[in-house]
Amino acid sequence: MKSFRKELWFDLPGRRAFVNITREVVACLRESGIQEGLVLVNPMHITASVFINDDETGLHHDYEKWLEGLAPHDPVSRYRHNLTGEDNADAHLKRQIMGREVVVAVTKGALDFGTWEQIFYGEFDGGRRKRVLVKIIGE
């Protein structure tokens, strides 16, 4: 069995964003040479997420409104975590809702997706450089 590891780096200027990283993951898969196996994709930060869904702007807008309704950023004083001097408690909660990682099957050298599925990096506390791990195992 072969193993492949690569880090993708992001430095998004805004506080929140959804970035389609499917092309980058496919490039990693090609580079790995693995034809049958599994791809794990996860952010290496506790205020970011990786998830699978449709690449549709209306859905991304709905995510933004829904997440902000569940865990609003302001007022930052509502969160105990922010008493440490941080202002990102909402980002931790949003990450918990959206999830930590995705695992995708690799079949015949391709991501084995359902219709419309894409991989996204979700940023909930941007403004600094963060990384996403891509780990691929298989034959």
Please give the Cα distance from 126 to 104 (Å, whole number).
Answer: 26
Instruction: Note the pTM of the prediction, 2 decimals.
Output: 0.95
- The pLDDT value recorded for residue 85 is 93
Q: Which tokens sit at 34?
A: 């693995």
CA distances to 54, 60, 119 from 136, rounded to whole Å, are 23, 27, 15
Q: What is the mean pLDDT of residues 15-24?
A: 97
pLDDT digits (tens, 9 = 90+) for 79-111: 999 999 999 999 999 999 999 999 999 999 999
CATH of the domain at 79: 2.60.120.460
- The pLDDT value recorded for residue 63 is 97
- The pLDDT value recorded for residue 130 is 96
Instruction: Supply the range of the domain harboring residue 60.
Output: 2-138
- The pLDDT value recorded for residue 110 is 98
Total structural domains within the chain: 1
Element spanning 3, H or E: strand 2-10
